[in-house]
A and B are shown apart, each in its own frame.
Chain A
Amino acid sequence: AQSVTQLGSHVSVSEGALVLLRCNYSSSVPPYLFWYVQYPNQGLQLLLKYTSAATLVKGINGFEAEFKKSETSFHLTKPSAHMSDAAEYFCAVSEGDSSYKLIFGSGTRLLVRP
């Protein structure tokens, strides 16, 4: 069964600093991987997804993530944090076409200091 682990329930960075949010997955088949962002009191919005094309995926708002099969990782990065990036970030996995379900990680709250 697939699962997702997000290391760090809270990550704090200074404005302008690198953002790195970690996600490791477990899957018995090649996975599809997603990063969603949730702003306060809102629903989730897709940042980017990996569906077995390029391993480096670019998303909205300057975020990108790299799929590393050998490390079973899909970490999210952004070169320079903005105050508006403060939100909850969720990594999710689905097991290719064998499953309709998205399995979410526990989320990482990103705090951006002025």
Chain B
Amino acid sequence: DTAVSQTPKYLVTQMGNDKSIKCEQNLGHDTMYWYKQDSKKFLKIMFSYNNKELIINETVPNRFSPKSPDKAHLNLHINSLELGDSAVYFCASSPSTSSYNEQFFGPGTRLTVL
């Protein structure tokens, strides 16, 4: 009964490939997020969806495309992978967009681009 789950946990791929990461939450939350954590542990938000609607889209390359088929799922597709995309990607969710809400994080997906 994991609250926020991500698949896969590890992803190793070649430059130029296309890959997807899936995220699911069973908390009944309305808002979901994608974060990127680089090799220095710095965490930066990439995208956020509220009730399947995109509400935050940071300065992320167009090669990254999030999709939210329903409130419980937020997937991240990455085209033409580059070496600099290597990082840990975290999915998170919160009850709503209210800023005082705690965000619940998934276990992360470690992406390695060779």
Contact = CB atoms under 8 A, between A and B. Distances in A.
A107 B42 contact: yes
A104 to B, nearest CB: 4
Given A32-B99, A51-B100, A94-B99, A42 B107 contact: yes
Interface residues of A, number: 27
Interface residues of B, number: 25
B55 interface: yes
Which has the most chain A C-beta neighbours within 10 Å: B48, B99, B104? B99
26 contacts: A32-B99, A32-B100, A34-B102, A41-B107, A41-B108, A42-B107, A42-B108, A43-B92, A43-B106, A44-B43, A44-B92, A44-B103, A90-B43, A95-B99, A96-B99, A97-B98, A97-B99, A98-B99, A100-B31, A100-B48, A100-B55, A101-B45, A104-B42, A106-B40, A106-B41, A106-B42
B90 A104 contact: no
Interface of B: 4, 31, 40-45, 48, 50, 55-56, 90, 92, 97-100, 102-108
